[in-house]
Amino acid sequence: MANLDSVFANIVRAPEDPILGVTVAYNKDPSPNKLNLGVGAYRTEEGKPLVLNVVRRAEQMLVNDKSRVKEYLPIVGLADFNKLSAKLIFGADSPAIQENRVTTVQCLSGTGSLRVGAEFLARHYHEHTIYIPLPTWGNHPKVFTLAGLSVKTYRYYNPATRGLDFEGVLDDLNAAPSGAIVLLHACAHNPTGVDPTLEQWEQIRQLMRSKGLLPFFDSAYQGFASGSLDADAQSVRIFVADGGECVVAQSYAKNMGLYGERVGALSIVCRSADVASRVESQLKLVIRPMYSNPPIHGASIVATILKDSNMSHEWTVELKAMADRIISMRQQLFDALQAKDTPGDWSHIVKQIGMFTFTGLNAEQVAFMTREYHIYMTSDGRISMAGLSSGTVPHLADAIHAAVTTLG
Ligand code: KET
């Protein structure tokens, strides 16, 4: 057989990605009632992907501007984009920015920013252990391990209360070696939808600073949790306000709907402008052999919007509308399960925040819902609320009811 001649003949087939593989399976399903609640991607009430009006407007302006060229960006990306991204997450009046203690580099969306940050830390930071919450976004351990960090977990979610295991967070961070890196979800924790309160953040900050733990924030949902960009950045800002150091990966995939444009930023807040500029020089050495320099289009869209106050305002209105639609989906799903008397307490659906509900459904129940109802979701029971609409809530409620009553 010719196949045996291949130098790759012994390659073992890899499994699909636990999140993106759900879309692959969904695409293969011919059922007209199929519903994809796997990947965290916003859909309209009509179930369609959404390009924000303000994004269309910015793109039109870019296309019409004949002075624009397609030259390479610098290794660190578009300067305006970097400045505006730092302001967006740290606040317009952030002393760290004013004192030039922040270096920001444009990266390939949230994932690329995490990867560049992790590669930098593996090369230049003395402690190679990173603590990630349990559970967390499935790609985190892979990104950090491949970058050369050693991954450990800290307790985060309590399945019994479907809320934060705050004691667990504090105990595990307290037991971490001094200097360890700690991955924190800035807001709208994925997959649980459970965030610390501001008071709890403050206690986490105090503990981390007292032990010299280095915060590495993943901010993939700024504006999606509360609908307010500033409120959703509070966790990051209280860490920056104490003058200490931190690392932040930002994504515009969800909050500006720029998923496929791959726009994000990595910021490292340092103690002095001199350190920040040396850090940036080393970030360039990480980026150059990895992908040389980042793409221009998406970052230009973001910069066009953020530097214009009218367009920025228009963005916040559209962002709030997305956040509000998700919140109303939570209420509708909760009401539908109440109306059916579905066994169990479903109040966590309305209490959790952000794009996802961590339903508590087990892998067997999820498989049942996919098989019998053509509803696609990750096997950990996470559903993307942003993929639901008023029209599909009853179908999902029927499926959950049947899964819970049939499989207990
Ligand atoms: N961090 C978190 C917490 C996150 O949920 C995602 C994406 C990312 C980073 C990366 O996003 P990027 O597109 O690189 O900017 N999460 C959704 C999509 C995915 O898995 O890629 C998801 O959980 O469905």
**Per-residue CA distances from 7 to 4, 15, 87, 179, 295 (Å):** 8, 21, 51, 45, 34
Pocket probe for ligand 1: among 23, 26, 190, the residue whose CB has the most ligand atoms within 8 Å is 190
H/E stretch holding 230: none
- What pLDDT shows up at residue 118? 98
Q: How far apart are CA 183 and CA 117, in angstroms?
A: 11
Ligand 1 and 143: CB distance under 6 A = no
Per the annotation, the verdict on 218 as an active-site residue is yes
From 19, 137, 216, mutation site for ligand 1 pocket: most ligand atoms within 8 A of C-beta: 137
Q: Is the CB of 261 under 6 A from ligand 1?
A: no
**DSSP-derived 3-state class of residue 106:** strand
Kindly report whether the peptide bond that precedes residue 394 is cis, defined as omega within 30 degrees of 0.
Answer: no
Q: Catalytic residue among 195, 218, 232, 380, which?
A: 218
Residue 5, pLDDT score: 87
Span 153-168, pLDDT tens digits: 999 999 999 999 999 9
- CB contact at 8 A, 319 and 222: no
- Tell me: the pLDDT tens digits for 341-372? 999 999 999 999 999 999 999 999 999 999 99
Q: What is the pLDDT of residues 70-123, one digit of tens each?
A: 999 999 999 999 999 999 999 999 999 999 999 999 999 999 999 999 999 999
* Residue tagged active-site, from 137, 201, 315, 346: 137
Q: Give CA separation, 392 vs 34, 43, 48, 113, 336, in Å.
A: 10, 12, 13, 35, 11
> Atom 23 in ligand 1: which residue has the minimum CA distance?
40
Cβ(40) – ligand 1 distance below 6 Å = yes
**In the chain, how long is the greatest CA-to-CA distance?**
68
Q: Are strands 150-155 and 129-134 parallel, antiparallel or unpaired?
A: parallel
Q: How far is the CA of 219 from the centre of ligand 1 (A)?
A: 10
Protein residue closest via CA to atom 20 of ligand 1: 19
Q: Which of 275, 293, 261, 315 has the alpha carbon at shortest distance from 84?
A: 315
Q: Write down the pLDDT at residue 2.
A: 52
* Beta carbon of 137 within 6 Å of any ligand 1 atom: yes
Would you say the CB of residue 264 lies under 6 angstroms from ligand 1? yes
Catalytic site residue 254?
yes
| H or E element, residue 20 | helix 20-28
Q: Is 250 in the pocket of ligand 1 (CB under 6 A)?
A: no
pLDDT at position 408 is: 76
32 CB-near residues (< 8 Å, 6+ apart): none
Expressed in angstroms and rounded, the spacing between residue 110 Cα and the centre of ligand 1 is: 7
Residues 193, 348: Cα–Cα separation, whole Å? 9
- Examine the residue annotation and report whether 65 is marked as an active-site residue of this protein: no
Please tell me the distance from the alpha carbon of residue 40 to that of residue 308, in angstroms, as a whole number.
28
The values of phi and psi at residue 193, to 5°, are 70, 15
Q: Whose CA is nearest to atom 2 of ligand 1?
A: 220
In eight-state DSSP terms, residue 263 is: E
Q: Is the CB of 196 under 6 A from ligand 1?
A: no
Is the C-beta atom of 136 inside 6 A of ligand 1?
no
Name the residue with tokens 């391990």: 145
Beta strand pairing call for 181-185 and 129-134: parallel
The DSSP secondary structure of 23-92, one letter per residue, reads HHHHHH---TT-EE-SS---B-TTS-B---HHHHHHHHHHHH-TT---PPPPTT--HHHHHHHHHHHH-T
For residue 12, give Cα distances in angstroms to 8, 15, 17, 76, 284.
Answer: 9, 10, 15, 37, 35
Ligand 1 pocket residue status of 190, Cβ below 6 Å: yes
Question: Per residue in 296-306, pLDDT tens?
Answer: 999 999 999 99
Q: How many Cα atoms sit within 13 Å of 31 on the Cβ side?
A: 14
Ligand 1 center to residue 21 CA distance, Å?
14
Which parts of the chain sit beneath pLDDT 50? none
How much is the pTM?
A: 0.96
- Whole-angstrom distance, CA of residue 148 vs CA of residue 125: 12
Beta-carbon contacts of residue 132 (< 8 Å; ≥ 6 apart) = 140, 141, 144, 151, 152, 153, 154, 183
